[in-house]
Amino acid sequence: MNRVKGLYIVILFLIASCSNEIDKITPPAERSMAAISELQSELIAPANGWVLNYQPTAESGLFYILLNFNEDGSVHIESDVPGDEDYFFDQTINYRIDTKLSLEMIFETYGVFHFLFEQNASTFGAEFEFIYLGKEGENLLFASKSDNSGDQTVITLIPASANAGDVFSRELSKNMLAYDTISSLFVGTTQQIALADQNISLFWSIGLDQRSINLRSAAVGLTNADIVSNNNSVLLDQTSGYGFFDGKLVLTDPFSFSLAGKSYSFSEISLTNFSETGSPMCTGGSTMSPVYTGSATGLGAATMYKTLFDTKGLDFKPMEDSPYSVNVFFVADANGFSLSENGSINDYFPTATGFAFNYGFLDSDSAYFSCSVDSLVQPEYATGLYYEDDNGNPKIALRKFDVVSASENKVNIQFTSSVDPADDYYPCDLTTEERDNLGSITDEIFGVGGGEVHALYFPVATQPDLTVFALYNACNNYEFLLVQ
């Protein structure tokens, strides 16, 4: 009996103890408010705010951002991101700390983070909602909320010094937009870096929105003519992000390469003098191109040009054995829309399957037509379409041209103009309507009567052995691919 009574007393004691512990547990709402208050206190604590070298993805470059959080729920943001009449350089927006699933920092009002999020049709990988991970020394760590689990971008807020704003290079980042005037699906923004002290040039494609660079090639020489004459270049395929700091374009991963028996390393370039005095991209045009001068660390004097010159594009030459051609989808207008889907090719030749470019093609036998003996031979220089008739039979329609000039990686063509218009097209049994329609399409692509196109090598990652060129008309921003 005494043993049972003693056990009963112990049970009552344990129940009472558990009851006291339950009473001590803080309600969820209070814990949430405490976490929010603690993080906000951390955010507003530094006297000069925070520095963020924002790299949205591992492939992108850096965006230099200063953040100064206020207790009233506003945050003053300064950045080096140009656009919207310099709005993103200096703005004050609202932020919120939330604890729905985890402790989060959310930029509520439209600002630089939202702008970066929208790039590449909102597929760039930038973010405006971040999960708080905790502290690392004096730094605060956050993870991008929308990234896939296990592959989240982690950002670090570092207490800013009083002179943190001195690093901004806004004039440089803004001037670089002058290089981004090529509306192209296939070519993109290409630049030549002429290193005078080394007598070499670098050629790269630069992504100004994502701040990434693909180094395409390096060549001996400073001018296009010298580079062609020297005939000493190396193809490269190196990629790096970059940022703007203290008047310099700085790579996240320096480029290293060898050329003419010498090794080079390119890590940053100081750009100091900007002008729009370069040659027009469109021959005979009046719009001058941008030029930046400065120096590359360890390499000496440097000049950055906008260019359509491409060392691999020099391989675009007359091909006797077969025409250059491509699926008709890869013919695009100045806005990047395929002419076979929403343009003149779809309107006039809706059954078109391919785009042809006879460039020195020596044909001795064609089985499509039988107007005359001469009509069986395709013209040596002509461009047009492969299509199907109403019965699904393959047909071809070509417009003849003469090559006015072919130098470097540029080809200037002029469509022939004969007394009998039928002589300017192939084959002889094209209807007047078909000739007129093809004439309208080719005038649209090349310019009325013909024009100049630049050939640039277009690498195909899935088929590295396939040689593809992008042909770009700098006068109207039309372009098309051609397979060799």
Q: What is the pLDDT of residues 362-410, one digit of tens each?
A: 876 544 444 544 556 889 999 999 999 989 999 999 999 999 999 999 9
pLDDT of residue 143: 93
Most confident of 254-258, 376-380, 421-425: 254-258
What lies within 8 Å, CB to CB, of 108 at 6+ separation is 93, 94, 95, 96
Instruction: Give the span between the Cα atoms of 226 and 439, in whole angstroms.
Output: 38
Average pLDDT over residues 214-227: 96
228: enclosing H helix or E strand: helix 224-230
pLDDT of residue 26: 65
Instruction: Find residue 471's DSSP bridge partners.
Output: 455, 480
342 three-class SS: helix
Q: How confident is the model at residue 95 (pLDDT cuts 50, 70, 90)?
A: very high
Cβ contact 63:54 at 8 Å: yes
Instruction: Give the span between the Cα atoms of 174 and 196, in whole angstroms.
Output: 25
Burial class (CB in 10 A: 0-12, 13-18, 19+), 432: exposed
290 three-class SS: strand
Instruction: Give the span between the Cα atoms of 423 and 415, in whole angstroms.
Output: 11
More confident position, 192 or 181? 192
171 three-class SS: helix
Q: How confident is the model at residue 273 (pLDDT cuts 50, 70, 90)?
A: very high
Is 429 a residue whose pLDDT tops 70? yes
Is 483 a residue whose pLDDT tops 80? yes
Range of lowest pLDDT (8-12, 141-145, 292-296): 8-12
pLDDT of residue 375: 56
Is 295 a residue whose pLDDT tops 50? yes
Strands 200-207 and 190-195: antiparallel
pLDDT of residue 23: 45
Whole-model pTM? Answer: 0.86
More confident position, 361 or 148? 361
DSSP state, 362?
-
Q: How confident is the model at residue 131 (pLDDT cuts 50, 70, 90)?
A: very high
Burial class (CB in 10 A: 0-12, 13-18, 19+), 385: buried
What is the full DSSP assignment across 43-105? HH-STT-EEEEE-SSTTS--EEEEEEE-TTSEEEEEES---TTTGGGEEEEEEEEE-SSS-EE
pLDDT of residue 18: 46
